Amino acid sequence: AQKITQTQPGMFVQEKEAVTLDCTYDTSDQSYGLFWYKQPSSGEMIFLIYQGSYDEQNATEGRYSLNFQKARKSANLVISASQLGDSAMYFCAMREGQDDKIIFGKGTRLHILP
């Protein structure tokens, strides 16, 4: 079974609208971290935001926020007021307990339309 599921292979959004990128995860660990990365066509993986399993507040970083619903095992990324530069691939990822590895979802390609 997939540990990280991103159900939206691609999305088209009008500039200045808010965007929600879906991510669900599967783990039996109590301690885990959830990450979102942005990858523009240039290739660099840019860290956006982190949410720990014990964090009670949803993480926010500028225009990015993470809608963390622990009981539903979802960690959706919300981008407010989208910009043309937000066009990129977005990966949701998880790190469990003391595992060295980070598990990536398959990604969502976001296209912002002018």
Chain residues binding other proteins by CB under 8 A are 29, 31-33, 35, 37, 42-47, 50, 52-53, 91, 95-102, 104-107
What tokens appear for 2 in the block?
């997939």
**Backbone CA torsion sign across 96, 3, 42, 16:** negative
Smaller CB distance to other proteins: residue 32 or 76?
A: 32
Smaller CB distance to other proteins: residue 51 or 76?
A: 51
3-state secondary structure of 84: helix
Rounded to a whole number of angstroms, the minimum distance from the CB of residue 23 to other proteins is 12
